Every structure is written in C-alpha cells, then in structure tokens.
Amino acid sequence: MRITSRPSPNFGPRRDGLVPSLIVLHYTAMADPDEALERLCAAEHEVSAHYLIHRDGRLFQMVQEDMRAWHAGAGTWRGMDDINSRSIGIEMDNDGASPFSEPQMSTLETVLPEIMHRWNIAPEGIIGHSDMAPGRKADPGPRFDWARLARQGLVARSGTSEPIEDPAIETFRSCAARLGYPTDIDDATLLTAVRLRHRPWGEGPLSQEDFAALPNVSHFLV
C-alpha cells in the first residue's frame, strides 16, 4: 500500500506505556479533502489522526502509529478512558452526508488488517467515534458500510444476537455495556449510538429489532 506522508505536529507519546488496542474510525465532516488534511496538520487546531483516506483511495499518514494522535477526545470504551493513548485513528474523507467511495473503502480494507496484525487488535476493537463518544460524536455516520467490513471479518458482525422476549431498556443497557458502550449516558443517547453502528436507519422506541441487530451478546445474558 503506497502511503503519502503528511506529518502533523499534533501528537505526543502514548501515556502509561499504552499500546493501541482499538482502531477508531471517523469522517472528516468537510467537503474538501485538502482542507481536511491542512486542518489535521495545523498546530493551532490541536487535532490529528494517524491516517486519512482520501475519497480517491489515496492513503495519507500524519502521525506514526506508536505515537498518540489527537482524534478521539472525551469518551470511553469498555470502561477505558484516554482512548487516544489506546487507539489508532483513521479519518475517512467524507462530508458527513455522502456515501463513502469504493476506492476509499477498498483502501480501508487493505490498511485495516495490516494495522490489526501489527498491534494484535481483534475485530471487536474496531469502533466508530460515535461508539465511544455517544451524543457528542456521530461519525462515521449511518452511511458508513460496517456490514461490508463485517463480511470480511474485520469488525464485529451486527445482527447475530439471539432473539429476546422482553425488549426492556435495562437489558439493552446491559447488552450495550458488555459490548463496550459507555454507561454514563441516557437511554435515548445510547439507543441512537447503538443504532448508528448496528441498525443505521432504525427509528422509534426500543424494539426487538434493536436487540436482533446487536452482535452476539447472548452469552453475556446467562
């Protein structure tokens, strides 16, 4: 994979000797990929990511993988904070409303397994920004094709949960927490975040479909 280097000054050492155990996927929410790259490399903005994948499929690296890039901000996953110290951040060049392009997804599918192999990261460790920062962040958004990545075994597969008789919010919160979602958020915010990832166009009150959309969590319920 050809990588274009665009070094950003916005990084530091990973804290407490942490190494990446997660990969956080983002969209840039900007119409112009060059402006997005500039922003991620401008000291005054104090943001960065390890990689940006251009909509034409080109891969840019801004921060070395062993360093701590500034992409995740406040939030938790599996009860862990300082996600920046624990993750690799990948920005997808996307305005937040358009579909992700084929060359871009193809590059992601090439680079993801390489990073997962280098740092021994399991598919369950690939998350969206919206997973770890519900309510605050919505990227990579409902148009992102998680199912495509799941079919290749690169991320946890949605819709493999056992049917559940009583779709109670307490049970749903428990399932979401076992998957890794933060627990210090209200029911509606949690439901929105889980749907963004596992049932992108789901609407209305909590239902059987929301449980059915989850990755297999049945073994968490016994």
- Please answer whether residues 140 and 129 qualify as being in contact, where contact means their C-beta atoms are separated by less than 8 angstroms: yes
Q: Look at the chain and count its residues.
A: 222
Q: Which stretch binds Zn ion (CB under 5 A): 8-16, 19-27, 36-44, 195-203?
A: 19-27
Regarding 129 and contact with Zn ion (CB under 5 A), the answer is yes
Q: Does 198 bind Zn ion (CB under 5 A)?
A: no
Query: Which range touches Zn ion (CB under 5 A), out of 110-118, 128-136, 185-193, 201-209?
Result: 128-136
Element (H, E) at 88: strand 87-92
Q: Does the footprint of Zn ion cover residue 39 (CB under 5 A)?
A: no
Binding residues for Zn ion, rule CB under 5 A, total 3
Indicate the residue among 70 and 172 with the shorter CB distance to Zn ion.
70
Among 37, 69, 85, 139, binds Zn ion (CB under 5 A): 139
Q: Which of 93, 121, 119 is nearest to 107 (CA)?
A: 93
User: Is the C-alpha dihedral spanning 63, 66, 69, 71 positive or negative?
Assistant: positive
CB of 215 to Zn ion, least distance (A): 22
Q: Mention every residue, 6+ apart, whose C-beta is less than 8 A from residue 182.
A: 75, 76, 77, 132, 134, 190
Q: Provide the token pair at 119.
A: 């740092």
Nearer to Zn ion, 26 or 197 (CB): 26
Spatial separation of the C-alpha atoms in residues 149 and 3, rounded to whole Å: 21
Q: 137 or 195, CB closer to Zn ion?
A: 137
The catalytically annotated residue of 91, 109, 114, 162 is 91
190 burial class (0-12, 13-18, 19+ CB within 10 angstroms)? buried
Determine, following the binding rule CB under 5 A, whether residue 197 of this chain makes contact with Zn ion: no
Q: In this chain, which stretch among 74-82, 102-110, 129-137, 204-212 interacts with Zn ion, using CB under 5 A?
A: 129-137
User: Binding Zn ion by CB under 5 A: which of 10, 11, 26, 215?
Assistant: 26
Give the span between the Cα atoms of 166 and 17, in whole angstroms. 44
Could you confirm whether 91 is annotated as catalytic?
A: yes
Contacts to Zn ion by CB under 5 A: 26, 129, 139
Catalytic residues: 91
